């Protein structure tokens, strides 16, 4: 989604670069992403940032790897779960100001769900296959642009509809997510509210722009929320 994105070959090695016009309305998102990436665990660390000619550029370290497979029986699933467990155990960095997930999703929260999304843990909120890199036995995380404070189980819970979209039953997806303590110990009532909230949010986004991948995720969120009704 960047106005500029490139893999650069330099004398010091490869660097992945994102660029955005300095005066673009979304320029703050790239600053936020770099700030969080510098502090988040298992993240591509920013190597440098620079501004010139009306552009902001951010250079990140590059890993050799591939996107993990979320499908049933995939050998990547335990490694993804391990990464989600690490991220879920981290508090939101106090030095970074960002509205919490409860504010972002407020218009989609059901009337009986006030307070269910409160939390101040590190939440990536967009940990699909393409924002994860499997590097041997470790799965690392990229693209923290949508990160915000949220419940500690946020990313583990959001893994459930992504697993359903990849071919799992709810039971199989739930079983995989229960390998993550934050999800296993979460209040079922709060998870139910979250599932209904995500169903409403993803359905609205899909109605606005029905890309095939969004339709698939919206259908998975529908199946997920239905379990709690």
pLDDT at 142 over 90: yes
pLDDT in tens, 163-185: 999 999 999 999 999 999 999 99
- How far apart CA 178 and CA 199 sit, in angstroms, is 21
Of 192, 186, 182, the C-alpha closest to 113 is: 192
Alpha helices in 65-169 (DSSP H): 77-88, 101-104, 154-165
Q: How confident is the model at residue 1 (pLDDT cuts 50, 70, 90)?
A: confident
pTM value?
Answer: 0.95
Q: How confident is the model at residue 9 (pLDDT cuts 50, 70, 90)?
A: very high
pLDDT at 12 over 90: no
How, if at all, do strands 4-10 and 13-21 pair? antiparallel
List the CATH code of the domain at 77-226: 3.90.1200.10
Average pLDDT of the residues in 98-120? 97
Other Cβ atoms within 10 Å of 33 Cβ, number: 22
Q: How confident is the model at residue 229 (pLDDT cuts 50, 70, 90)?
A: confident
Average pLDDT of the residues in 122-132? 97
What's the confidence (pLDDT) of residue 100?
98
pLDDT in tens, 29-66: 999 999 999 999 999 999 999 999 999 999 999 988 99
What's the confidence (pLDDT) of residue 42?
97
What's the confidence (pLDDT) of residue 2?
87
pLDDT at 27 over 90: yes
Please, what sign has the CA dihedral across residues 108, 110, 111, 112? negative
List the CATH code of the domain at 4-60: 3.30.200
The domains of the chain are located at: 4-60, 77-226
């Amino acid at each position: 989604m960047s106005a500029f994105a490139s893999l650069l070959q330099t004398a010091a090695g490869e660097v992945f670069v994102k660029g955005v016009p300095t005066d673009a309305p979304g320029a703050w998102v790239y600053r936020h992403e770099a700030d969080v990436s510098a502090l988040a665990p298992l993240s591509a660390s920013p190597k440098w940032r620079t501004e010139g000619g009306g552009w902001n550029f951010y250079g990140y370290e590059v890993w050799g790897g591939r996107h993990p497979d979320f499908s049933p029986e995939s050998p990547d699933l335990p490694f993804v779960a391990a990464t989600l467990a690490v991220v879920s155990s981290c508090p939101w960095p106090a030095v970074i100001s960002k509205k919490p997930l409860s504010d972002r999703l407020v218009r989609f929260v059901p009337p009986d769900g006030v307070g269910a999304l409160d939390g101040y843990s590190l939440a990536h909120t967009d940990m699909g296959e393409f924002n994860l890199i499997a590097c041997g036995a470790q799965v690392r995380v990229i693209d923290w642009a949508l990160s915000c404070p949220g419940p500690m189980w946020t990313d583990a819970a959001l893994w459930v509809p992504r697993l359903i979209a990849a071919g799992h039953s709810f039971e199989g997806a739930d079983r995989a997510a229960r390998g993550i303590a934050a999800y296993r110990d979460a209040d079922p009532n709060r998870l139910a509210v979250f599932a209904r909230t995500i169903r409403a949010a993803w359905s609205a986004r899909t109605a606005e722009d029905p890309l095939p991948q969004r339709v698939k995720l919206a259908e998975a969120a529908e199946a997920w929320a239905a379990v709690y009704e």
